[in-house]
Amino acid sequence: MNVAHPYIISEMTQEIFSCEEGLTLESGEKFPQFQLSYTTQGHLSPKQDNVVWVLHALTGDANAHEWWSGLIGEDKFFNPTNHFIVCANLLGSCYGSTQPLSINPATGEPYYYDFPQLTTRDLAAAFDKLRIHLGIVKIDTLIGGSLGGQVALEWAYTLKDRLKHAVIVASNAKASPWIIGFNESQRMSIESDSTWGQKSPDAGKRGLEAARAIGMLSYRHPQTFIQSQSETEEKRDNFKISSYLRYQGKKLANRFNALSYWVLSKAMDSHDVGRGRGGTVKALSEIPCKVLAVGVDSDVLFTSEESRFISRHVPSGNYREIRSIYGHDAFLIEFEQLNYILKSFYLENIR
């Protein structure tokens, strides 16, 4: 459906963008009409020079002001009084965008396992359809962490001069075997669920619980668990960390579905900004915007060296580091450091 441009509305809006023309995927497959759920905050300025587009991580949603509350909101670094803030739910995710449980127009039934395999390039292309729909010519800042950072980097490549700043947090230019291995072990957990393969919204739910437990181990640093999950008494069983991981697994499985998790983890694996572009270094060298790559010193999933690699090979790159015991999840926790890093970056890059 067509929606009014939200820049005429002052408060936060939540909208659905329906793309009737569909999308040609990187694989060459034609994906039919799809929808993206998105939120906006603030006003689009007459010069269109205040757009901040936020990209969420694997199981995130379009409510960036909630999960990045330390950065986005009134009196925060990205303030809707000054910025027009857009955040859209990734294609394939289950928070309002077209996903495996959506109806396949070709069959009139849910896609389930027939949902196409997506890449980070496809996810960026879907967002660009929304950008055009909103009438946004230039974006001041793209910012995303983890999978959101991968998609942001892909989009930065195609946006070229239509983007001024890209902030890539705890992410990389190409998925490493380490990340792919973690994701594959999580998908193996989903596959081992006896309900996987059934055409049911709850298919793979128990497997998703196990997958999330594996994921949680990669999102934190061992020191985090030593501090928060160590035992105060001698035990042989029923450890705190065991209960914690089971709780986190159930928590995710009650708000997400295994099919979306499968699709988006595969998209994360696919990430390679240099595919078909002469390699990673060459592709990075063709991103003209100012790039801030933010690493986390304790991140064992997306290593800080991968963030440094991005900053070294784009024409205008900066690297900053978050120091934290929280590992990969620090980008969702260490708001004070992120605020300081962003302030420094923008002060250094005032044109």
Indicate whether 209 and 282 sit together in one domain: no
- Which of 108, 89, 120, 95 is CA-nearest to residue 32? 108
Indicate whether 329 and 198 sit together in one domain: no
Do 322 and 335 touch, CB atoms closer than 8 A? no
How far CA 58 is from CA of 150, 171, 219, 338, in Å, comes to 11, 12, 12, 20
155-174 as b/e: b if 16+ CB within 10 A: bbbebeebbbbbbbbbbbbb
Helix, strand, or coil (residue 77): coil
Q: Cβ atoms within 10 A of the Cβ of 2, count?
A: 7
Indicate whether 90 and 232 sit together in one domain: no
Strand-pairing partners, residue 87, are 39, 54
Is 1 contained in some domain? no
- Which of 336, 320, 291, 311 is CA-nearest to residue 152? 291
What secondary structure letter does DSSP report for 154? H
Is 341 contained in some domain? yes
User: What CA–CA distance (Å, rounded) separates 323 from 221?
Assistant: 12
CA atoms within 13 A on the CB side of 175: 25
Question: 224 exposed, middle or buried (CB, 10 Å; 0-12, 13-18, 19+)?
Answer: middle
253-286 as b/e: b if 16+ CB within 10 A: beebbbbbbbbbbbbbbbbbbbbeeeebeebbee
Residue 349: predicted pLDDT: 73
Indicate whether 234 and 161 sit together in one domain: no
Is 286 contained in some domain? yes
To the question of pTM greater than 0.75 for the whole model, the response is: yes
- Which of 273, 297, 289, 263 is CA-nearest to residue 149? 273
User: What CA–CA distance (Å, rounded) separates 249 from 165?
Assistant: 36
Q: Report the chain (351 residues): mean pLDDT per 10 consecutive residues.
A: 37 92 97 97 94 98 97 95 97 98 97 98 98 97 98 98 98 98 98 98 98 97 94 92 97 98 98 98 98 98 98 98 98 97 88 49
Indicate whether 121 and 196 sit together in one domain: no
What secondary structure letter does DSSP report for 262? H
Domain boundary among 211, 246, 267: 267
Q: Which residues carry out catalysis? A: 146, 299, 328
Domain boundary among 218, 252, 267: 267
Is 52 contained in some domain? yes
Domain count, the chain: 2
User: What CA–CA distance (Å, rounded) separates 184 from 116?
Assistant: 18
Domain boundary among 207, 242, 267: 267
Is 239 contained in some domain? yes
Question: Could you tell me the residue range of the domain that residue 208 belongs to?
Answer: 178-267
User: What CA–CA distance (Å, rounded) separates 272 from 252?
Assistant: 28
Residue 110: predicted pLDDT: 98
